[in-house]
Chain A
Amino acid sequence: MMMLNRDNKLSAYFVDLHLHSVLSPCAGLEMGAVEIVRKVNSEGISIIAVTDHNHVANFRALRDAAIESAEPLLVLPGMEVQSMEDIHVVVIFPDEDRAYEYKDWLWQKMPDIKNKEERFGYQLIIDKDGNILDQEEVLLIQGAMRTVDEISSYALKMGCIVIMAHMDRPSFSYEAVLGPLPGEFQCSAIEISPLVIGSSISKWSEKYSDRTIIRSSDAHKIDQISRYRCSSMKLGGLSFDEVFLALKRENGREVLYP
Chain B
Amino acid sequence: MKLHEIINTLEPDVICKGDGDRDITGVIVGDLLSFIIGEAQEGEIWVTIQIHLNVSAVAVLKELPMIILASGREPSKELAEKCLEENIAIIVVEESAYEVCAKLHRLLNDDAE
Which residues A163-212 have CB closer than 8 A to chain B? 170, 175-179, 182
Which chain A positions have C-beta within 8 A of B34?
Answer: 170, 175-177, 179
Please report the total number of B residues contacting A with Cβ < 8 Å: 12
Q: How far is the CB of A187 from chain B (nearest CB, A)?
A: 15
A176 B54 Cβ-Cβ under 8 A: no
For the complex, what is the distance from the CA of A178 to the CA of B57, rounded to whole Å?
10
- The docked-state distance in angstroms from the alpha carbon of A178 to that of B78 is 14
Interface pair A179/B37, CB less than 8 Å apart: yes
Question: Is A85 engaged at the interface, CB distance under 8 Å to the other chain?
Answer: yes
Instruction: Give the interface SS of chain B, mostly helix, strand, loop or mixed.
Output: helix
| A166: min CB distance to chain B, Å | 13
Q: Scan A91-133; emit 1 where CB is below 8 A from any B CB, else 0.
A: 0000000000000000000000000000000000000000000
Q: Are B52 and A182 in contact (CB under 8 A)?
A: no
B14 at the interface (CB under 8 A from A): no
B29 CB–A CB distance under 8 Å? no
State the B residues within 8 Å of A (CB).
31-35, 37, 50, 52, 54, 57-58, 76
Q: Can you list 27 A-B contacts with CB-CB less than 8 angstroms, sorted by A residue number?
A: A85-B50, A85-B52, A147-B52, A147-B76, A148-B52, A170-B34, A175-B34, A176-B32, A176-B33, A176-B34, A176-B35, A177-B31, A177-B32, A177-B33, A177-B34, A177-B50, A178-B33, A178-B50, A178-B52, A178-B54, A179-B33, A179-B34, A179-B37, A179-B54, A179-B57, A179-B58, A182-B54
A→B interface (CB under 8 Å): 85, 147-148, 170, 175-179, 182
